[in-house]
Amino acid sequence: MLGSVFYILNIIFFIGLVILIFSPIFLGVPFMPTHKKQAIRMIELAQIKSGMKVVDLGSGAGRLLFLAAKSGAQTLGYELNPFLVLWTKLVILVTGKQDKIKVFYKSIYDANIKDMDVILMFLYPPHMKKMVKKLQEAKPGTIILSYAFALPEWQLIKKEQGIYVYRR
Ligand SMILES: C[S@@+](CC[C@H](N)C(=O)[O-])C[C@H]1O[C@@H](n2cnc3c(N)ncnc32)[C@H](O)[C@@H]1O
């Protein structure tokens, strides 16, 4: 019995690993978490406070989600790598953050960003170009932070430690 559970867990782990390795081919963005120091700085720069609504577009393993939730925000993540979605859901469950963090297996282009106070992202240039149009759905005043890559055509408010800050 224990042997077959172990066998199934091994298969799940192997499938997850394959998805993780090959997802860049399908998604155009490999999974790479925002560096811890910069992730913390993103939350500070966004001035995230209790009750704010925050979304991470391409939430990966959830680093930004958990940091934003720690500051009291209601956080949403959108992610297309099923392994990372499952992992994030598991950590949410284990840490008891179900009331603060939700993660969806859904494309960032289908994300509901209309009510968000803060939008976080760490995506690569081809996505940044497409984001220019998508971000028109955000309400005026929304703070947008992008790690590593700039949003073409958007007026930059601030750049620090590779973090680009914008306001819709
Ligand atoms: C560079 S990682 C950043 C992860 C996380 N935001 C962080 O800062 O730690 C980008 C993530 O975007 C995800 N991604 C790429 N294209 C996507 C899409 N169309 N919809 C949802 N997620 C996507 C990738 O699977 C990857 O996990």
CATH of the domain at 19: 3.40.50.150
| Phi then psi dihedrals of residue 34, to 5 deg | -60, 135
Give the mean model confidence (pLDDT) for residues 109-135.
95
| In the predicted structure, residue 20 carries a pLDDT above the cut 70 | no
| In the predicted structure, residue 22 carries a pLDDT above the cut 70 | no
SS3 164: strand
SS3 155: coil
Domain that holds residue 153: 2-167
Burial class (CB in 10 A: 0-12, 13-18, 19+), 147: buried
- CB of 64 shorter than 6 A to ligand 1: yes
- CB of 33 shorter than 6 A to ligand 1: yes
pLDDT in tens, 125-168: 889 999 999 999 999 999 999 999 999 989 999 999 999 999 99
Q: Take residue 33 and report the two structure tokens written for it.
A: 């978490």
Instruction: Give the pLDDT of residue 23.
Output: 63
Q: Which amino acid is at 114?
A: K
Per-residue pLDDT band at 14 (split at 50, 70, 90): confident
Instruction: Give the pLDDT of residue 10.
Output: 72
DSSP code at position 141: T
For the chain, what is the mean pLDDT? 91
Instruction: Give the pLDDT of residue 28.
Output: 61
Q: Take residue 37 and report the two structure tokens written for it.
A: 């120091």
Instruction: Give the pLDDT of residue 15.
Output: 72
Among 23, 117, 48, 147, CA closest to 131: 147
| In the predicted structure, residue 29 carries a pLDDT above the cut 70 | no
Instruction: State the pTM of this model.
Output: 0.88
pLDDT in tens, 38-62: 999 999 999 999 999 999 999 999 9
Instruction: Give the pLDDT of residue 65.
Output: 98
Structural domain count of the chain:
1
Report the DSSP beta bridge partners of residue 105. Answer: 79
Q: How far is the CA of 107 from the centre of ligand 1 (A)?
A: 9
Q: How far is the CA of 120 from the centre of ligand 1 (A)?
A: 11
